[in-house]
């Protein structure tokens, strides 16, 4: 039950808030009127054509409306940016967890399932996965490793997919198979785009130039 003293405190707080809002509104409109008046005087002094019969308050209301629209748009954009930032952070956190699970799976099963020699356990920084190979792989072995990774990743998520895998010599780490993982739509689009480029190139090479 709300006591009389508590009711008085709430009433006093509301009056205080309304008073602050009234003061802010008064100052806001005062500044707008001052701005319009100074602008009008400047135009007159500059020999610009000015409608002297224009209502000052109407102009003030129009200016206030534009300012409210600008402020509302700014607030909306800031809120959308914050929501996107929060969503991206959550997405990255989920991705890091999934890749950690994938790395654990690879370290436990990769060598046995593919008879593949590695020199160090696979690692992830939350963005991609590195598998440290004992040597470079031929084309068939690379394809087999890529398909194996895609299968393992699919066990842990339907939100992310492999974009591409490539093997390179890394100073201090030797041959490293790097798996770039992205959200499934982006990864699928990139893979299709690369496949399309390869097909186009092959078709161009098959054209008889004679």
Q: What domains can be seen in the chain, in order of their start residue?
A: 4-88 (no CATH), 92-206 (3.30.980)
pLDDT at 161 exceeding the cut of 60:
yes
The predicted pLDDT at position 25 comes to: 84
Average pLDDT, whole number, for the chain?
86
Q: What is the dihedral of CA 155, 160, 161, 163, to 10 degrees?
A: -150
Q: What is the tens place of the pLDDT at every residue in 130-145?
A: 999 999 999 999 999 9
Question: Which residue would you say has higher pLDDT here, 148 or 68?
Answer: 148
Residues whose CB falls within 8 Å of the CB of residue 95, separated by 6 or more in sequence, listed in order: 126, 127, 160, 181
CA distance linking residue 201 with residue 191, whole number of Å: 16
Can you give the pLDDT at residue 190?
A: 93
State the pLDDT confidence band at 95, using cuts at 50, 70 and 90.
Answer: very high
Instruction: Compute the average pLDDT of residues 99-118.
Output: 94
Mean predicted confidence (pLDDT) in 106-110: 95
Q: In which element (H, E) is residue 5 found?
A: helix 4-45
Sorting pLDDT into bands at 50, 70 and 90, what band is 8?
confident
Distance CA 190, CA 196 (A): 10
């Amino acid at each position: 039950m709300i006591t009389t003293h508590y009711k008085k405190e709430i009433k006093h707080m509301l009056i205080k808030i309304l008073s602050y809002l009234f003061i802010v509104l008064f100052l806001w409109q005062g500044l707008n009127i001052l701005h319009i008046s100074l602008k009008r005087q400047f135009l007159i002094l500059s020999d610009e054509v000015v409608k002297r019969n224009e209502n000052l308050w109407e102009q003030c209301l129009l200016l206030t409306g534009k300012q409210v629209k600008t402020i509302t748009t700014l607030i909306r954009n800031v809120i959308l940016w914050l929501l996107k930032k929060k969503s991206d952070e959550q997405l990255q956190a989920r991705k890091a967890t999934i890749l950690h699970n994938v790395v654990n799976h690879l370290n436990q099963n990769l060598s046995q399932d593919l008879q593949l020699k590695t020199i160090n356990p696979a690692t992830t920084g939350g963005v991609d996965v590195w598998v440290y190979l004992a040597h470079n792989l031929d084309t068939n072995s690379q394809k087999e490793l890529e398909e194996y990774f895609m299968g393992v990743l699919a066990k842990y998520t339907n939100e992310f997919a492999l974009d591409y895998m490539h093997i390179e010599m890394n100073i201090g780490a030797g041959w490293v198979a790097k798996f770039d993982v992205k959200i499934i739509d982006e990864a699928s689009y990139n893979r299709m785009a690369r496949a399309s480029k390869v097909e186009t190139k092959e078709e161009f090479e098959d054209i008889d130039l004679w």
